[in-house]
Amino acid sequence: MEKQPVDRLTIQNTVSLNDIESLAQGYILNCRCEAKSPKTIAIYELVLRNFLWFCHQNHYPTEPNSINADHIREFLWYLSSSTNRWGTANPRTKKPASKTTVGDYHRSLRTFFKWLEREQLISDNPFNHLKTPKPDKKIIQALTPNEVKKLLKTCSGKNAFDTRNKAIISILLDCGLRISELAGLTLEDVSLNNGTLLVKNGKGGKQRTVRIGTQAQKALWRYVSIYRKSRSKQLFLNRIGEPLDVVGMTILIRRLGDKAKIKVHPHKLRHTFAISFLRAGGDAFSLQYLLGHSTLQMTQRYLQSLNADDAINAHRKFSPLDNMQM
């Protein structure tokens, strides 16, 4: 989702029930009281800021009961068609938003208006008259076994940084963690004796325990026991001994990919874990837990991608024309 230079919503002491902007402030306060994750709240703030900006630009009514389904449709159409969103110079807003982004906006706004409806602040929810946008059904791309070997080879050295990098890549490939979950790990979250990791900062604030395979355990043990020299509680550190954050890890993985001459990003490693787990015989329900998915919907996308890859391999073997004696 795009960033743009509108001031953050601030919670004021008084909230007007007749002004959508004040109600948006109250909604953010409610989200904080419900202890929603900072990332979730930041997304809601961004969506509401942009929606309010669009309403002001188009002179839409500010009373919540006056906003109807057509106003929402116009906003979603603006997202999916505008080549100069929010009036900023950000290059990411110079092309129409993807179906995924439009879906994210739709979902966040729908949650806000459901809250207004639940609190009896509106008499008619405009989202009751809207259909959910259909997302792109893209086949999920994973690394091939050969690409995995190339990536691991880039950090096969015996120095501290190669050892750290190999541990990072190994855990992402073997455990399927989100990059934010990996960056949030502390030494206390690691149990090499049991071969497990405790993920405390999962999506939606949910915790889960995941297993580390023997190869990933070995890589992590070498890093922690031999090369990691710091009193910091965070598991993975940068060159000056400070926690390696999400941005640093993302840049690191892309650089290793460039070195291996393959295109890779953190989520592609997560995709690779999921596809490999299913191909090895793992079941979808276990994968759902290991990935930290709240529903099977996303997990099923991996099943669809797996079926597509297997069908292609089967065709390679059983191609009708290739098997004809011609």
List the catalytic residues.
178, 203, 267, 270, 293, 302
HEC per residue, the chain? CCCCCCCCCCCCCCCCCCCHHHHHHHHHHHHHHCCCCHHHHHHHHHHHHHHHHHHHHCCCCCCHHHCCHHHHHHHHHHHHHCCCHHHCCCHHHCCCCCHHHHHHHHHHHHHHHHHHHHCCCCCCCHHHHCCCCCCCCCCCCCCCHHHHHHHHHCCCCCCHHHHHHHHHHHHHHHHCCCHHHHHCCEHHHEECCCCEEEECCCHHHCCEEEECCHHHHHHHHHHHHHHCCCCCCECCECCCCCECCHHHHHHHHHHHHHHHCCCCCHHHHHHHHHHHHHHCCCCHHHHHHHHCCCCHHHHHHHHHHHHHHHHHHHHHHHCCCCCCCC
